[in-house]
C-alpha cells in the first residue's frame, strides 16, 4: 500500500482516444483515426486529462509525485494546474501517437518503479498499458474512449483523482479488474465482438470504479418494445434511437432494421437517418420541432450518457433538455443499478441533466431512478 510522500504515479494520455464518438465511429484504432479526422473529429482526451489533474491539485496533490509522459501524452496538460511535484519523461512520441509510444512510456514507468499507473484513454489503451506493465503495478483508467467496457476505469476523471488519493493515503484498495475490448472493424459492420485480454491489478475506492460491461437478457425486450409502441410512440414526432439491443428491438417492432451501435432517426414509421453523426443529429433537431432521444443504459455500469453515445454532444443535449430523453432498459439490467450516470463532457450539462428519469422495463411497468453527474464523486460514494 502506498504511503504519504512516497507515492509515485506514472501518468500518460492517449490524445486520440474517444475522437471517433461524435462522428459516428466506434473507436480510433488504426485507420479509423484518419477517418475520424476526415469527418471533422476533435480531441476529447486532453480535456479529460486536465480535469483529472485539476481535481488532483484541488484535493491533495502534495501526497503524489507524478512521472508524466512528455508532450501531448502528458506534460502539455500541466500548464493549467499548480501541480509542483512532477517529472516529465524525455521520451519522444510520434506526431500521431501510436500504441508503440504507449508501450515505451509504460515500460519507462516500470523502470522508475512507480507505485501505480494512471492513463487517459479507452479499452484499447488499457490493453496496451496492461501488456507493457505486465501486471507489475496496479493501473487505473481515466475514461476517454468511445467504448469503456473494461473494469479498470474510474467513473470519471474526478473519481480517478479521488481513488488515487485514497490509495496514496492508505485508504484505497487494490483489486482485480478485467481488460476487455471489441473489434472496432467488426463494429463498423454492426457486429459486436468482445474479447477478454486478461486480468489487471487496479485501484478502487467507495463505488468510484466501474464494473465490466454486462449484457442484459433479451427475454423482456419484446415487452419493452410493445409498451413503447403503444404508450410512447406517435406519428408526427421524430424519435432518434440510440445504441443497444433494447432500442433495436423497439425499432424492429416498427419493421425497420436499426443499426445496433449507432443512432437512427424514425418519423411516421419511416427511417429518415441511419447511423447518424453528431452533425446529422444537430440538423434533425434544428429541422423538426418535436424530437425525442431514446436511450438505453449500459448494463453493470449505469451510464445513460457519455459511453457509446458521444454523438449526443453537449450542444445537442442543451438544446433538447431532460424532457426530450426517453429511457428504456431490460429488467435484468435495470434491477442491478443503484443510479444512472451522466458524463457528457460538459460539467454544466451533466448537472442540468441530473435528476429522476422514468425507465420503461416491461409492458405496463416503469420505474423512477436518479441520474447523477459522474463528475461528482461525493454523490456517488
pLDDT at 365: 94
Q: What is the pTM of this model?
A: 0.89
Q: For residues 339 and 304, give the distance between their C-alpha atoms in angstroms, rounded to a whole number.
A: 10
Q: How confident is the model at residue 4, as a pLDDT? A: 44
Contact call for residues 259 and 240 (beta carbons, < 8 A): no
pLDDT at 149: 87
Spatial distance between the Cα atoms of 259 and 264, rounded to a whole number of angstroms:
7
Whether 142 is in a domain gets the answer: yes
pLDDT at 217 over 70: no
The verdict on residue 2 lying in a domain is no
160 plus 197 within the same structural domain: yes
Q: What is the DSSP letter of 63?
A: G
Q: What span, in angstroms and rounded, lies between the C-alpha atoms of 10 and 2?
A: 14
Pick the last residue of a domain from 147, 169, 204.
Answer: 204
Instruction: Give yes or no: residues 173 and 71 share one domain.
Output: yes
Give the pLDDT band of residue 247 (cuts 50, 70, 90).
Answer: very high
Q: What is the mean pLDDT of residues 20-29?
A: 56
Question: Which residue range(s) make up the domain with 73?
Answer: 8-204
Higher pLDDT, 94 or 327: 327
Give pLDDT tens digits for 344-376. 999 999 999 999 999 999 999 999 999 999 999
State what percent of residues in the chain have pLDDT above 90. 65
Q: Is residue 15 part of a domain?
A: yes
pLDDT in tens, 126-144: 999 999 999 999 999 999 9
* Residue 91 forms part of a structural domain: yes
Q: Which comes out higher in pLDDT, residue 306 or 23?
A: 306
154 falls within a domain:
yes
What average pLDDT is seen over the chain?
88
Q: Given this model, what pLDDT does residue 283 score?
A: 96
At residue 17, the pLDDT reads 84
Domain count, the chain: 2
Measured CA to CA, the distance from residue 3 to residue 26 in angstroms comes to 40
- In this predicted model, which residue has the larger pLDDT, 185 or 130? 130
Q: Indicate whether 318 belongs to any domain.
A: yes
Mean pLDDT across 242-270: 94
User: In this predicted model, what pLDDT tens digit does every residue of 298-317 receive, in sequence order?
Assistant: 888 899 999 889 899 999 99
User: Distance (Å, rounded) from C-alpha 192 to C-alpha 96?
Assistant: 27
Residue 159 lies inside a defined structural domain of this protein: yes
- Largest alpha-carbon pair distance within the chain? 63
Amino acid at each position: 500500500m502506498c504511503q504519504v510522500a512516497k507515492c509515485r504515479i506514472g501518468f500518460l494520455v492517449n490524445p486520440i482516444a474517444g475522437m471517433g464518438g461524435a462522428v459516428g465511429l466506434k473507436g480510433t484504432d488504426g485507420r479509423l483515426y484518419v477517418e475520424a479526422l476526415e469527418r471533422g473529429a476533435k480531441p476529447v482526451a486532453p480535456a479529460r486529462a486536465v480535469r483529472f489533474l485539476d481535481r488532483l491539485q484541488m484535493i491533495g496533490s502534495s501526497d503524489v509525485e507524478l512521472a508524466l509522459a512528455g508532450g501531448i501524452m502528458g506534460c502539455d496538460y500541466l500548464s493549467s494546474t499548480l501541480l509542483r511535484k512532477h517529472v516529465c519523461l524525455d521520451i519522444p512520441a510520434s506526431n500521431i501517437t501510436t500504441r508503440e509510444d504507449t508501450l515505451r512510456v509504460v515500460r519507462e514507468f516500470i523502470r522508475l518503479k512507480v507505485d501505480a499507473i494512471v492513463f487517459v484513454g479507452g479499452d484499447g489503451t488499457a490493453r496496451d498499458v496492461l501488456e507493457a506493465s505486465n501486471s507489475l503495478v496496479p493501473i487505473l483508467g481515466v475514461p476517454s474512449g468511445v467504448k469503456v467496457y473494461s473494469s479498470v476505469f474510474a467513473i470519471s476523471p474526478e473519481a480517478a483523482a479521488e481513488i488515487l488519493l485514497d490509495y496514496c493515503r492508505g485508504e484505497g484498495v487494490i483489486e482485480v479488474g478485467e481488460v476487455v475490448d471489441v473489434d472496432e472493424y467488426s463494429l463498423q459492420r454492426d457486429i459486436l465482438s468482445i474479447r477478454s485480454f486478461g486480468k489487471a491489478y487496479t485501484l478502487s475506492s467507495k463505488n468510484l470504479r466501474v464494473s465490466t460491461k454486462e449484457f442484459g437478457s433479451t427475454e423482456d425486450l419484446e415487452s419493452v418494445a410493445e409498451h413503447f409502441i403503444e404508450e410512447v410512440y406517435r406519428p408526427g414526432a421524430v424519435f432518434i434511437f440510440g445504441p443497444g439491443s433494447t432500442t433495436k428491438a423497439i425499432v424492429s417492432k416498427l419493421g425497420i432494421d436499426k443499426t445496433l451501435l449507432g443512432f437512427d432517426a424514425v418519423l411516421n414509421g419511416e427511417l429518415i437517418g441511419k447511423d447518424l453523426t453528431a452533425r446529422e443529429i444537430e440538423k434533425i433537431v434544428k429541422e423538426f420541432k418535436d424530437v425525442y432521444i431514446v436511450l438505453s443504459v449500459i448494463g453493470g455500469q449505469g451510464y445513460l450518457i457519455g459511453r457509446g453515445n458521444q454523438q449526443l454532444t453537449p450542444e445537442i443535449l442543451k438544446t433538447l433538455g431532460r424532457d426530450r430523453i426517453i429511457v428504456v432498459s431490460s429488467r435484468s439490467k435495470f434491477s442491478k443499478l443503484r443510479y444512472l450516470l451522466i458524463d457528457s463532457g460538459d460539467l454544466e450539462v451533466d448537472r442540468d441533466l441530473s435528476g429522476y428519469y422514468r425507465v420503461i422495463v416491461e409492458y405496463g411497468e416503469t420505474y423512477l431512478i436518479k441520474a447523477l453527474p459522474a463528475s461528482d464523486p461525493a454523490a456517488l460514494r
